[in-house]
Amino acid sequence: MLRYVIRRLIWVVFLLFAVSVVTFVLFFLMPGDPAAASVPRQATPEVVEQVRERMGLNQPVWKQYRDFLHGPDRIGVGQPSGVLNWPPNLGYSFKNQEPVLDIIVDRLPVSMSLAIGSAVLWLVIGIPLGIQAALKPGSLRDRASTAFALFGASAPVFLVGVTLLYFFYFKFRIFPAPKYTPFTENPLLWAQGLFLAWLTVAVGLAALYTRLTRGSMLDVQGEDFVRTARAKGLVERRVVGRHILRPTLTPIVTILGLDLGALIGGAIVTEVLFGLPGIAQATVKALIDLDLPMIVGVVLTSAFFVIMFNLIVDILYAVLDPRVRYS
């Protein structure tokens, strides 16, 4: 297992390297001049060129990538930039010359709060509903869960969010205005300010997890060891709790890891709709501003979390299912 983990960690580095190269290439294929876009239209051509030089955009693309790995101090901070330094320096935002890593670290708690809170909700909603549906297939409960799944899968995130905001905040004032308060500052305000955002993300994913749990549980229920457990006379609650649930959750854990990884930095609609200053909101801003260092930074961050969560769930998979062994 240890060798497996080390091999995977080495792959992480190569994958992130590949992601950074692809991001660079895609950026320069996009229309737009970042230097001209970062100054007002009234700026003279000379000012645009000075800004272009400061951004390093007057260099060939390969040299700009080299500087991304290890480059000069263009804005006079007294240390070289580049991701191969220690600590890694992801460069400086074209827009406001702030260190990209600092911006991402500052926004990470927001995105993580959104991801974790949503995950708790969708698991708490989706898994029990799925279990109930699987225990009585074809029943009213099962059909209700199917209807919920269809709704959750087809309702756009934006529509769900706007509807929740309208009724639960604006119309009936059940929740306060959405806002991010750090957990360490006030846990209650943290939860209150994020709840509607959590629910927005959770609705669609709870629907998916309902169906996943139902399907997985139906598969497991057909296994010989479940038949044996029932044949031995165990009460149904024990059969479900001790014999069915764990193998049912194995594929759920796999998907959960991928969803969590993707959500950190990927909840663009929700962060923008609720005005949450997370990584996804920064991504949108970076794309509009043609802010190359920020774009590379947020893409690498998102990729990192997807890859790492993937690794974590693979390890958990082995823990949950003793039939799985890595060599």
Q: Which is nearer to other proteins, 286 or 306 (CB)?
A: 286
Question: Do residues 139 and 254 touch, judged by C-beta distance below 8 A?
Answer: no
User: What are 293's two structure tokens?
Assistant: 């260092």
Q: Which stretch binds other proteins (CB under 8 A): 90-98, 114-122, 139-147, 245-253?
A: 90-98
Q: Which of 11, 166, 167, 225 binds other proteins (CB under 8 A)?
A: 166
If binding is defined by CB under 8 A, does position 65 make contact with other proteins? no
189 binds other proteins (CB under 8 A): no
Query: Which region among 26-34, 126-134, 147-155, 212-220 touches other proteins (by CB under 8 A)?
Result: 26-34
Q: Are 50 and 58 in contact (CB under 8 A)?
A: no
Verify binding: residue 50, other proteins, rule CB under 8 A.
yes
The alpha-helical segments, DSSP class H, found in the chain are 2-29, 34-37, 45-55, 61-69, 100-135, 140-154, 157-164, 187-221, 224-231, 236-238, 245-263, 268-273, 279-289, 292-320
What's the CA gap between 126 and 205, in Å, rounded? 8
47 belongs to the binding site for other proteins (CB under 8 A): yes
Beta carbon nearer to other proteins, 76 or 138: 76
98 Cβ contact list (under 8 Å, min separation 6): 92
User: Minimum CB separation from other proteins for residue 166, in Å?
Assistant: 8
Question: Which residue type, as a one-letter code, is found at position 89?
Answer: N
Site for other proteins in 200-259 (CB under 8 A): none
Minimum Å gap between C-beta 291 and other proteins is 11
Choosing from 29, 40, 79, 322, the residue that interacts with other proteins (CB under 8 A) is 40
- Say which amino acid occupies 14: F
89 phi, psi to nearest 5 deg: -115, 110
List of residues contacting other proteins (CB under 8 A):
31-33, 36-37, 39-48, 50-51, 54, 75-76, 96-98, 103, 106, 162, 165-166, 169-170, 173, 176-179, 272-277, 281-282, 285
